[in-house]
Amino acid sequence: MTQSASDNYKGVWGNRIGFGTKAAVLVIDFMKAYTTEGAPLYAPGVVAAVEKTPVLLEAARGNAVPVIHTNILYRAADCADGGIWVKKSPVMTAMVAGNPLAEFCESVEPLAQEPVFTKQYASAFFGTSLAPMLHAQGFDTVILAGCSTSGCIRASAVDAVQHGFRTIVVRDCVGDRHEGPHEANLFDIDSKYGDVVSLDEAVSYLKNGN
């Protein structure tokens, strides 16, 4: 009999790491390219995640938990600063200044005082000073929202644990263009790299446990 994935992983993967003592919320790449119908990157799952994320942001901001944002933006001619990635995934060349698709989504955009890390690749940590900034201020936990689950969320989750952070992904606040990759990557992140939690669980921690 063929085992289910959960049965196959049971007792091997899936240990819970839990929240730490000092967290930051990391909102990854909520850009209009993913929420504009007809755009090549349009992802219905991201639209749903954007709708849920203001609740997470309100809980963080109301309890003095820092909120950090990322975006993708290319500045070199022909998006050369995207290297091989934009050759493999040329759809990403929409992420240039002046393109409305490269703007932040309404309702989840950064506040004036919230830092924005601009990146050219999938991970929020690759080629940025995000990890040193968090370490310098004593953060031990990152709570991830954003998109896409199979791309920049997964890459950032893997890098987060490799940089020594407890990694929490809020299921309701991440999205993808298809349910299959979305669920597969949440399963894998929860099994190996961090904890996938509900919005209610994340909000409870932000209000009571941070």
Question: Is residue 147 among the annotated active site residues?
Answer: no
Q: Do 169 and 197 contact (CB within 8 A), yes or no? A: yes
Rounded alpha-carbon distances, angstroms, from residue 75 to 51, 96, 118, 174? 30, 7, 11, 27
Q: Do 123 and 158 contact (CB within 8 A), yes or no? A: yes
Q: Do 56 and 199 contact (CB within 8 A), yes or no? A: yes
- The H-or-E segment that residue 175 falls in is strand 166-175
Taking alpha carbons only, the member of 117, 124, 195 closest to residue 153 is 124
Catalytic residue among 105, 147, 152, 173: 152
Helix, coil or strand: residue 30: coil
* Residue 167 to residue 204: CA distance in whole angstroms: 16
Active site residues: 152
